[in-house]
Structure 1
Amino acid sequence: MAYDEELAKRVREYLAEFPELEIVEKKMFHGLTFMVNKKMCVGVSGDELMVRFDPNLHNEFCEQNGFRAMLTKGREYKGYGYINPDYIKTNNQLNKWLDIALQFNKEIKAKKK
């Protein structure tokens, strides 16, 4: 599971600014996923940022440069996508996507096991 350690560090540092959040890192999706308050929030897969967001914003995000929808077995997953590393070079660019994921994370309930 190779993933960009520097990008993971940047995500980790940003999330650390919110001490009220429960953050757990898990290796999954061919990379590192950050669980926030027991819910999948963001991840690093290869050199891309994986974000989870409100599925109602899916079509809007698909039109943005640097975004690609998550596909698994030919199926597009609304509410999940990858951000090209060229579009998260600055902290402002990265933080924009992290904020989107954190906002959605507040709105959803954790799945019960």
Structure 2
Amino acid sequence: MAYDEGLAQMMRDDLIHLDGITEKKMFGGLCFLLNGNMVCGVHKGGAMFRIGKEREAAAMAIDGARPMDFTGRVMGGFIDVEESAMSNDESRAQWTSMAVDNAATLPPK
């Protein structure tokens, strides 16, 4: 898989305190799920967070975030984060919190 294991470990460390977190290889990277719903994932060059459409503006206001457009079309409710921004603990914590909050509103799979 094409993802940075250091980024994956960073996300593991951030999410380890939550019950219901699992990992799954998806989208050419590694995704983290809460009760079967995607929270975030790491890929070559950075990470993505499923923050939900209502949190997009707040997530995009944090330096390092950009629209997620892996397929050439922007995917609503997701953001992409450049690798260099992932090392900012405060920013990463904000995106992670938004993504966990979003996943927690979804029914378990």
Is residue 71 from structure 1 mapped to residue 34 from structure 2 by the alignment? no
CA drift at 1:66: 1.3
Task: Report the secondary structure of 1:78's partner residue.
Answer: coil
Task: Report the secondary structure of 2:3's partner residue.
Answer: coil
Query: For the residues of structure 2 that align with 1:75 and 1:65, how far apart are their CA atoms?
Result: 21
Distance change (3 Å), C-alpha of 1:110 and 1:84: same
Is residue 83 from structure 1 mapped to residue 81 from structure 2 by the alignment? yes
Which residue in the other structure is 2:49 paired with? 51
CA drift at 1:95: 1.5
CA drift at 1:104: 0.8
Which residue identity does 2:103 align to in structure 1? Answer: N
Superposition misfits of 4+ residues, deviation over 6 angstroms: none
| Structure 2 runs not aligned, ≥5 long | none
CA RMSD after TM alignment: 1.8
Range moving further from structure 2, 69-78 or 22-31: 69-78
Task: Report the secondary structure of 1:24's partner residue.
Answer: strand
Which residue in the other structure is 2:2 paired with? 2
CA drift at 1:24: 1.6
Q: How does 1:94-109 map to 2 (within 5 A)?
A: 94-109=92-107
Count of aligned residue pairs for this structure pair:
109
Task: Report the secondary structure of 1:76's partner residue.
Answer: coil
Task: Report the secondary structure of 2:31's partner residue.
Answer: strand
| Structure 1 runs not aligned, ≥5 long | none
Deviation track 1:39-65 (CA, whole Å, cap 9, x = no partner) reads: 111100113121001212324444543
Higher relative contact order (CA 8 A, sep 6+): 2
Larger Cα-atom Rg: 1
